[in-house]
Each structure stands twice: as C-alpha cells, then as structure tokens.
C-alpha cells in the first residue's frame, strides 16, 4: 500500500483491481507526461477526471449531492468528468486538482458515469496525502504487467486504515524527561507494513492507575507541525499539547498523550497549508477542507484505541472538547470514565477558528 501511495506521489499510474474490472489511476496533481502516456497505453476507454464530491462542488461551483463516502456505491465517493484532450497535460491537471489555482475546466464540463472502483481510487489518493483528484481510465488486469506498474486490489485499499491500526506494535521506548513532566516516557508504535509511526507519551504510571482509583488522563492529539513546533497562532494545538502534559504531571493517576501522525485532521501538512490559503480567502476551516476534497475530519480513532490496548489501559478520563473523540474511542472498545474540559482562550488570531470548532464541529468550548 505504501508503494502504491508513493507511486501516485511521484506521478506514476497505479492499477486498481476489482472482482471484474480494473482501473488505471494517476494523481492529477503529480502525474507526469510519462505517466499520462502509460495511462493512455493501457486504457480501454477514454480518460476522465475523478473528484471527491465535495471537491467537485467547488470545481463546478454548484451543489453536488453528497453520499456517504464510506458507502460502497461509487457515486457516493466521487464525481467523474470527461477530460478533453486539451486538458491532458500535467500542468493543466495540477491546476484542475488544486483549489488554490486557476479554474481551467469548461464552463459546463460533461459528467460521465463514475467507475465502480472510484471509492478505492479516492481512498488511495487520500492515503498518499494528495488531493483526491485523479485521472482514471478503464483497463484490463493484464495492463499492470504490460506497463510495469504496480497493481493493488480495491479491497486492500479500502481495508487499509483499519488493518494498519490493528497491526500496530511497540518498536521502541525511552525515558524522556520533559520540561513540565520530568517523569515521562515515549513509546513508538509502527504498523506491520512499516508505515508511519505514532507515539505515546506516558507521564507518571498511567498503566497502573484505575484499579483502585481514578482512571488516568488521556489525550488523543493529532500532530501539528505549525502549532506544536512553531507556536502558530492560527490554532490552539500547541497550548493543548503542552497543557495536557502539564496536567498529567500534576494528576496522581498520571496520563498518556497519544501523538498521532494525522496532521490537519488527517489531510497532511501540505494540504493543511492549502487549507490555510483558502481560509485567508474567506472559507472557514471546515469548508476549506471540503474545497480540497476532504471530509471535515479524516482521522482514524482505531489507532488511538489500539495503542491504549497495547499499553494495558482500558479506561481513561479524556482531555478533550470534541464529542466525536469520546464517541470514537467508546466505539473502539475503550471505556471513557469521564471528559475533562481542555480549552484555551482565543489569542486574537484564532478567534474565528475556535468559534468554527464550536459552531460547526460541536466542540464544547463554553
């Protein structure tokens, strides 16, 4: 799966196999001239532009019915638009994919039937942290061998997020005294496929808490390069990270901070920067993610649950303002003994960001 994501990122097509059909797919933002030639050489029909419905609405500048992106029906996952030959150019396709670039589609682009394997194609682009916009063409399963491109099954692609979570194992551990928590350890987790690592920061002895006293504190924290490392004022991630560690150090039960490699609610750092550009043009944080083709929140809470289980922590007091995190952990089998409010005052820059979290995401900031 990681090789397939890597191939998309470097502009090479990937063949996605279904039970009866196959689809050649290349990422619109990265596909090279050679990649387009390979796609054309293996195609059994005309190429089309595949967009996540939320991105298609932004491109078409009109509403597009939004199905459940988790549903198996291809129409729920994507919109397909015919690509005239004049648009089959790498520079043009990059602009078609990127909502911060100029619009180059015809005024009324022709919609075509959505291929059956569209959900897997969109999911693979998201796994690669690319914009969910792809050039696709029907192909035969034998096209992979003839073109020397990687072939993956749609079933593999769609199952990957959960399978990566359930195969997490501890691979390294060290004592790392922190400024606000001298008694801290960091444990690294890696999935069986060797993918991106997630970290657990343990403060005190949270594994031993909960038997005869309160459950340990826990925070599910998605990495934020701009907020956590640079002190960005656009969000509240940095104060939440450091504030959580400080509270855990002060709590007799200790705590665990799960530092997940799910930047920007799962869209990745590059796309988060694109979302910031759209926010500067007037969109809020939710609509900016949608304009990129992503959902409001693309994170996978199975990762956090499996890490807690591996640590022997089955019950937590969750440091969060997000009801979805409470529901997500509970749905994954972790007992949430209570919610601990964890909000910080606006700083003059992130006021609207926090207001949007409360108004549109339901965060409990009062």
Active site residues: 297, 299
The size of the chain, in residues, is: 366
Q: How many CB atoms lie within 10 A of CB 183?
A: 14
Segment holding 159, helix H or strand E:
helix 154-166
Sign of CA dihedral 55, 58, 59, 64: positive
Cα 95 to Cα 291: distance, rounded to the nearest angstrom: 14
Kindly tell me the burial class for residue 351, based on how many C-beta atoms sit within 10 Å of its own C-beta (0-12, 13-18, 19 or more).
exposed
Find, among 20, 220, 283, the residue nearest to 140 by Cα.
20
CA atoms within 13 A on the CB side of 237: 21
**Nearest Cα to 215, choosing from 345, 280, 311, 303?**
311
Q: Give the HSE-up count for residue 184: Cα atoms under 13 Å, Cβ half-sphere.
A: 23
Whole-angstrom distance, CA of residue 118 vs CA of residue 18: 11
Which contiguous run of DSSP H or E holds residue 26?
Answer: strand 22-27
Q: Are strands 79-82 and 111-112 parallel, antiparallel or unpaired?
A: antiparallel
- Residue located via tokens 């933002």: 29
The alpha carbon dihedral of 117, 118, 122, 128 has a sign of positive
């Amino acid at each position: 799966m990681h090789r397939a994501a890597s191939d998309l990122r470097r502009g090479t097509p990937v063949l996605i196999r279904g039970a009866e059909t196959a689809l050649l797919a290349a990422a619109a933002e990265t596909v090279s001239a050679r990649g387009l030639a390979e796609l054309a050489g293996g195609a059994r029909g005309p190429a089309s532009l595949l967009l996540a419905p939320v991105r298609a609405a932004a491109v078409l500048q009109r509403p597009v019915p939004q199905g459940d992106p988790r549903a198996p029906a291809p129409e729920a996952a994507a919109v397909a638009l015919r690509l005239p030959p004049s648009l089959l150019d790498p520079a043009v396709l990059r602009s078609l994919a990127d909502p911060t670039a100029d619009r180059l589609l015809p005024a009324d682009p022709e919609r075509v039937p959505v291929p059956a394997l569209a959900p897997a194609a969109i999911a693979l682009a998201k796994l690669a942290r690319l914009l969910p916009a792809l050039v696709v063409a029907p192909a035969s399963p034998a096209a992979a061998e003839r073109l020397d491109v990687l072939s993956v099954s749609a079933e593999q692609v769609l199952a990957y997020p959960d399978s990566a979570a359930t195969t997490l194992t501890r691979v390294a551990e060290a004592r790392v005294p922190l400024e606000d928590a001298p008694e801290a350890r960091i444990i690294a987790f890696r999935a069986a496929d060797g993918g991106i690592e997630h970290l657990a920061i343990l403060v005190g002895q949270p594994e031993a808490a909960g038997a005869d006293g309160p459950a340990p504190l826990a925070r599910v924290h998605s990495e934020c390069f701009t907020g956590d490392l640079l002190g960005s004022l656009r969000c509240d991630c940095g104060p939440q990270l450091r504030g959580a560690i400080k509270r855990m150090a002060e709590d007799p039960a200790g705590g665990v901070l799960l530092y997940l490699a799910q930047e920007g609610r799962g869209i990745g750092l590059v796309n988060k920067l694109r979302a910031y550009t759209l926010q500067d043009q007037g969109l809020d944080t939710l609509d900016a993610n949608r304009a990129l083709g992503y959902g409001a929140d693309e994170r996978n809470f199975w990762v956090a649950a499996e890490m807690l289980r591996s640590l022997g922590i089955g019950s937590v007091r969750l440091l969060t303002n997000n009801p979805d995190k409470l529901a997500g952990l509970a749905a994954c089998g972790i007992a949430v003994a209570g919610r601990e409010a964890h909000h910080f005052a606006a700083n003059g820059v992130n006021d609207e960001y926090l207001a949007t979290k409360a108004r549109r995401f339901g965060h409990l900031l009062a």
